[in-house]
Amino acid sequence: MELAIIVAVVVVALAFDYTNGFHDAANAIATSVSTRALTPRVALAMAAVMNFVGGFLGQKVAKTVSDTITPPSGSAGLVVVMAGLAGAICWNLVTWYFGLPSSSSHALIGGLAGAALAAGASVNWNTVVDKVLVPMLVSPVVAFGLAFAVMVAIMWLFRRAHPTKAQRGFRLAQTVSAAAMALGHGLQDAQKTMGVIFLALLTGNYVSSDDPLPVWVVIAAATAISLGTLSGGWRIMRTLGRRIIDLDPARGFAAESVAAGVLYTTAYAFEAPISTTHTITSAVMGVGATKRLSAVRWGVARSILVAWVLTFPMAAGVAAAAYAVLHLFLG
């Protein structure tokens, strides 16, 4: 019975990873597609490949995710993990349906915390606050400020350049910045699923806390998120690429470069599972504000902010309800 539950948890975790891929595909390529630097099919294929590669570049974020809760060992703990995943998947699907670029990362952490609280299990609040909530608040502010500064610097450096030639050059440069963004997404988000699978194996006593991630876990998670990315997330892509602001290639390049830099820094330096969605959305707003503040459609931004605020508690609530149902059948 316990082995069957572990297999089910792994399958559900990979399903979450797949939804993460198509939910967050827009993060890497929306700006490049909207500026016509890349065609949608080419952009999706490139993002899928870079997501897969990014999944192999580190394990620090996975360790942080696996440390967020301490479920009981055995089947009771596995039910907690499965319920947390159910909450995250449900919120991903809801926000995808409405085209809102919310955070899959915070949906996952919120789901795990909600399921743990419903089960009376321990939530490691120090890890959640230091590695999740604080970066959740700081990373969008940093991305907005850096993107604004980088775009101001670009406008000053290329102030005498021919506009058409300059934009053509930035359109080519966006191929590199979009690839860097997709690589950062794989580095961050594929590891989150790896962390959940590792947590399930740890709960089932198949690994110890000091063991490295099994190779099959890395391959499976990297594959699932890349396949999800390949399936696309067109609803959210329209929001990021068009509805917030009409981007030009220079601003698209600046936003992607800054967002990628923030993703790498937080993954390697702080081991923090930050939201790629929050990061790129804030960077897009930052570069847009260099035109004029009114160029950013703040009404759309307000809707996105509401989704950000609701993500953690809503995913937690759905996960708690999922635990109540699963507990009846699986104990």
Distances (CA, A) of 107 to 29, 139, 189, 319: 22, 17, 12, 10
- What length is written for the chain? 331
Per-residue pLDDT band at 241 (split at 50, 70, 90): very low
User: In 3D, which of 25, 41, 59 has the Cα closest to residue 239?
Assistant: 25
- pTM equals 0.88
Mean pLDDT across the chain:
87
Q: Amino acid identity, residue 11?
A: V
Pairing verdict, β 122-123 and 69-70: antiparallel
Q: What is the pLDDT of residues 253-279, one digit of tens each?
A: 999 999 999 999 999 988 998 888 788
163-185 vs 40-54: helix crossing angle, rounded to 10: 40
Segment holding 127, helix H or strand E = helix 125-128
Alpha carbons 121 and 154: distance in angstroms, whole number: 51
Say if CB 145 and CB 8 are below 8 A apart: no
Angle (CA) 300 306 309, round 5°: 145
What percentage of the chain exceeds 70 in pLDDT? 89
Q: What is the pLDDT of residues 74-87, one digit of tens each?
A: 889 999 999 999 99
pLDDT at 133 over 80: yes
CB atoms within 10 A of CB 169: 16
Alpha carbons 39 and 43: distance in angstroms, whole number: 6
Alpha carbons 240 and 288: distance in angstroms, whole number: 12
Alpha carbons 109 and 128: distance in angstroms, whole number: 8
Give every CB contact of residue 75 below 8 A, 6+ residues apart in sequence. 1, 2, 5, 330, 331
pLDDT of residue 328: 86
Alpha carbons 270 and 203: distance in angstroms, whole number: 25
Q: What is the DSSP letter of 268?
A: I
Q: What is the pLDDT of residues 12-56, one digit of tens each?
A: 999 999 988 877 766 667 777 777 788 878 888 888 899 999 999
> Any alpha helices (H) in 130-214, and if so which ranges?
134-157, 163-185, 191-203
